[in-house]
Amino acid sequence: MIKITSPNLFWDDPLRLGYGVTVKTVRGKRYVYFWFYDGKGKKTEKYLGPAEDPETEERALKMQLEYLENVKREVEREIEKIRKLLEEVAAQTKPKP
């Protein structure tokens, strides 16, 4: 049986960064999935294993970490892009002596 060692391991809230881990019951057995929304709003699910498999929790945590690291890189790129645009706008709007 999968242990929940992190209070945030299994949550299914699409408003929180667009990803989560969920458990589905199929024919009486529990299975764990990692889900996320891509940039176009399409939901994708990846099967991680049976809930009873002790390695499934590790896979779930690794998937969350990988996803968040990718999001972090994307956010950092966007921040840099906006900073450069802001500098350009500020340079254009400064009063000339």
Domain ranges for the chain, please list them. 19-93
Taking the C-alpha atoms of residue 91 and residue 85, their distance in angstroms, rounded to an integer, is: 10
Residues of the chain where predicted confidence (pLDDT) is lower than 70: 1-16
Taking the C-alpha atoms of residue 9 and residue 59, their distance in angstroms, rounded to an integer, is: 11
Q: What is the pLDDT of residue 18?
A: 84
Q: What is the pLDDT of residue 34?
A: 94
Q: What is the pLDDT of residue 25?
A: 94
Q: At residue 28, what is the residue type?
A: G
The DSSP letter of residue 27 is T
Q: What is the pLDDT of residue 9?
A: 52
Q: What is the pLDDT of residue 4?
A: 45
Distances, alpha carbon 86 to alpha carbons 77, 78, 90, in Å: 14, 12, 6
